[in-house]
Amino acid sequence: MNKNFPAELRPPTSDFNALESEDDESSPWLLDSQALQDALLPSPVHLRNRFWGNAKTPTRGELTWIESFGKYPKFDPTAGKLSKRVELEIADLRQATQIIVYYHYLHRGRTMAQLPYWVKLDSIRVGVLLFSLPRLSVPLDGIPPMNVLELARMWLSPDVQGRTVFDSQGIEHSVSVASCAVGKALERVRQDWDAKYPHMPDIRAIVSWADTVHHEGTIYKASNFAAMGSSGGGLHGSRRRPNGGRDQLNSDYANNKTRFLYLLRKDVPKSSSTATRTTEQLSLMAQ
């Protein structure tokens, strides 16, 4: 058995002992670590170029994790108050981007400064929210571009969408995990952003553009965003960059989009103490 194989990639000790043979000193470690090798190999060619574009292709192990992400077929919307069951967790940016690229209808992530959250329901990760600096160079609704943060991507597992409950009067109500998650994000994103990017200007507002081809902005309306107008309807981004190359030309640029704006409360402190943050949270923020 090759004991020099990196420890973090070796099977548990019990697996080594079970598979090690005293009768065959030349037995390669390949025998017991084949699954690990397979997990580290690039994903199959037909998936390799499916969504990932210039992004790093996930390994087979990562692809297995991606495909299993968000599964919650036994979600019971009547099991308790949603606000007590939904929580956010600061996510690993690379992992969050993989989920977004694979599942979100745009199949692409974002660039520049970003802050991702896992959406957790009953402690199970069922979705992702991604905030980033918007691609703006002029004020938006009177707010300087560096004081605006964009809710750029949101995806939730189909297992937790489209559910309803009936109240004591027999009236049916939607169970919106998305609205609950967005509401919780609006309460903390300013502080979390400042903790990750302490030298950036204070965030005063959150903006999001709802692609009218795919949705009507129902979640934003339920989260008290204000509809500020529409834009789009034309392909843009085909100009050449001064430093070489050309901006991406994506077909959804031609879709009309409704701009939704949420003003953050002025009485919310810019920064919260990081004394109670875990090492893992601070590490993720540092990405």
Domains of the chain: 75-285 (3.40.630.30)
State the pLDDT confidence band at 123, using cuts at 50, 70 and 90: very high
Q: Output the DSSP codes for 86-126.
A: EEEEEPPHHHHHHHHHHHSTT-----SSEEEEEEEETTEEE
CA distances from 180 to 69, 172, 175, 188, 213 (A): 20, 18, 9, 13, 24
**3 state SS of 177:** helix
Other residues' Cβ atoms within 10 Å of the Cβ of residue 6: 7
User: Which pLDDT tens digit goes with each residue over 23-51?
Assistant: 444 444 344 555 555 566 666 655 555 67
Identity (one letter) of the amino acid at 115? Answer: L
Q: What is the DSSP letter of 200?
A: S
What pLDDT is attached to residue 6?
43
Q: Which of 10-24, 93-107, 158-172, 182-196 has the highest mean pLDDT?
A: 182-196
What pLDDT is attached to residue 100?
94
**pTM recorded for the entire structure:** 0.74
Q: CB–CB of 180/173 below 8 Å?
A: no
Euclidean distance between CA atoms 257 and 233, whole angstroms: 8
Mean pLDDT of 137-164: 94
- Higher pLDDT among residues 287 and 171, named by residue: 171
What pLDDT is attached to residue 46?
54
In sequence order, which ranges of the chain are alpha helices (DSSP H)? 13-19, 30-40, 45-48, 60-68, 82-85, 93-103, 177-196, 218-222, 279-285
What pLDDT is attached to residue 143?
95
What pLDDT is attached to residue 230?
80
Q: Is the pLDDT of residue 16 over 60?
A: no
